[in-house]
Amino acid sequence: MDAAHARLCLLLHSLPHLDNAGLRRLLQHFGSPQAVWEAEASALATAGVDGPARADLVTARKRGRHPAAARDVDRQLDALLAVDGRVVALGSADYPPMLAAIHDPPPLLYLRGCEQLLRAPQLAVVGSRKASPPGIRLARELAAAAARAGLAITSGLALGIDGAAHRGALDTNAGSIAVMATGIDAIYPRRHEPLARELLESGCLVSEFAPLTPALPMHFPARNRIISGLALGVLVVEAALPSGSLITAGTALEQGREVFAVPWFPGHAGGRGCLRLLRDGAVMVETVDDILAEFGTLLQWQLELTPAAAASVGAGQPWLLSLVGYEVVTVEALVEASGRSVAEVLAALSALELDGSIARHGGGYIRC
């Protein structure tokens, strides 16, 4: 890992008056943490940075840290290095493209393990922490079946359905992604430390929270948008009313992702959230085939697309290429202009990027 890059990211993340929205705006405007750090005051103002945030940057440049930061940056860096973690910034080629497409992507991602898995087609599997034995068994079986079909399993490392989903992926020796509501230096809940160690052998831990960040209630809804944002769709296996799983399903719909739910009988209080989702239009799931049928062509592209095949696939995307010019255009703008889904736009962008017709630049795409 580039320790200097990681420290710079942590330093930007520590500025008291620069929130996630502001840092995201800066990265999308300047293209990299280094460019943000080196930007002149006038350029920062043009990018929409207010006076207090600009003053924070000036202070940090002079002192190498900010005296009002909530946590010591050097201690955070030590914690990150101790677990062999790294930082990926929005706009980087390593940033997960599905997550970059949501309206509020994390400006920085802290990672451990096999980060390439973040670019694989993913199914998010979520549900109750106090799941029933049938729910636990079903989550594990469906996750294993989806993993065998080529999907990476993404969840939140929580007790109950989350843990069963991760375990199902591990049953097939497939990779699984755990999105955390804390820094990646400490596992929460502690009971899942053995599971996390197993997961890291072929999977990945990811968080938008810097090292040394504890588990706080407001972190979990924020974490949920990343779970759904990374995936093609979200499967809710078992959920009561109300529940955090329904929040994840709601963010999935806002992000243009598919929502799946298992049908439970009405007398099972722990499954009423799933019945609500089905009533509101979620796809009913009895077997993994119900999920694969909805993903269809997009999943095939993501599983089979190679540089050798990219030219032929890319040539079939004139509708998108005509919308990408020589100035940066974002995924959101392309979705709006084309009238296509986020998934369709991302698949076409991948094909055109591999074909060499377009390239990523400054948080968006330009024609080559």
**Following DSSP, what letter does each residue of 324-343 receive, concatenated?**
--SS-B-HHHHHHHH---HH
Q: In this structure, which topology does domain 3-82 adopt according to CATH?
A: DNA polymerase; domain 1 (1.10.150)
pLDDT at 344: 66
233-283 pLDDT, tens digit each: 999 999 999 888 999 999 999 998 999 999 999 999 999 999 999 999 999
Q: State yes or no: pLDDT of 317 exceeds 80.
A: no
Token pair in block for residue 86: 């790294």
The proportion of the chain whose per-residue pLDDT surpasses 70, expressed as a percent, equals 90
> Within the chain, which residue ranges are assigned CATH 3.40.50.450?
115-295
> Within the chain, which residue ranges are assigned CATH 1.10.10.10?
305-367
Mean pLDDT of 37-44: 89
Q: State yes or no: pLDDT of 298 exceeds 60.
A: no
Q: Determine the Cα–Cα distance for residues 51 and 44; give it in Å rounded to an integer.
A: 10
Q: In this structure, which topology does domain 115-295 adopt according to CATH?
A: Rossmann fold (3.40.50)
Confidence band (pLDDT; 50, 70, 90) for 347?
low
Confidence band (pLDDT; 50, 70, 90) for 314?
very low
pLDDT at 167: 97
Place of tokens 């670019």: 119
Q: State yes or no: pLDDT of 358 exceeds 90.
A: no
C-alpha distances (whole Å) from 13 to each of 20, 53, 156, 185 are 8, 12, 23, 16
Q: State yes or no: pLDDT of 308 exceeds 50.
A: no
Q: State yes or no: pLDDT of 304 exceeds 80.
A: no
Closest CA to 333 of 11, 21, 19, 28: 28
Q: State yes or no: pLDDT of 331 exceeds 80.
A: no
Token pair in block for residue 143: 């996750």
- In DSSP notation, 264-314 reads --TT-GGGHHHHHHHHTTPEE-SSHHHHHHHHHHHHHHHHH--HHHHHHHH
> Within the chain, which residue ranges are assigned CATH 1.10.150?
3-82
Q: Determine the Cα–Cα distance for residues 362 and 328; give it in Å rounded to an integer.
A: 7
Place of tokens 């920085």: 108
Say how many Å lie between the first and final Cα of the chain, rounded.
30
Mean pLDDT of 170-174: 92
94-140 pLDDT, tens digit each: 999 899 989 999 999 999 999 889 988 999 999 999 999 999 999 99
pLDDT at 341: 63
Mean pLDDT of 161-171: 97
Higher pLDDT, 197 or 326: 197
| H or E element at residue 113 | strand 108-113
pLDDT at 313: 38
Place of tokens 């992604």: 177
Higher pLDDT, 1 or 225: 225
The proportion of the chain whose per-residue pLDDT surpasses 90, expressed as a percent, equals 65
Closest CA to 204 of 225, 222, 237, 227: 227
Confidence band (pLDDT; 50, 70, 90) for 342?
low
Mean pLDDT of 201-228: 95
pLDDT at 362: 59
Among the residue ranges 224-228, 287-291, 292-296, 354-358, the one predicted with the least confidence is 354-358
The average confidence (pLDDT) of the chain is: 88
Confidence band (pLDDT; 50, 70, 90) for 312?
very low
Token pair in block for residue 134: 């049938």
Q: State yes or no: pLDDT of 307 exceeds 50.
A: no
Mean pLDDT of 319-337: 80
Confidence band (pLDDT; 50, 70, 90) for 294?
confident
Higher pLDDT, 171 or 315: 171
Mean pLDDT of 182-198: 96
pLDDT at 32: 94
Region 305-367: CATH code:
1.10.10.10
Among the residue ranges 23-37, 38-52, 294-308, the one predicted with the least confidence is 294-308
Name the amino acid, one letter, at 281.
G
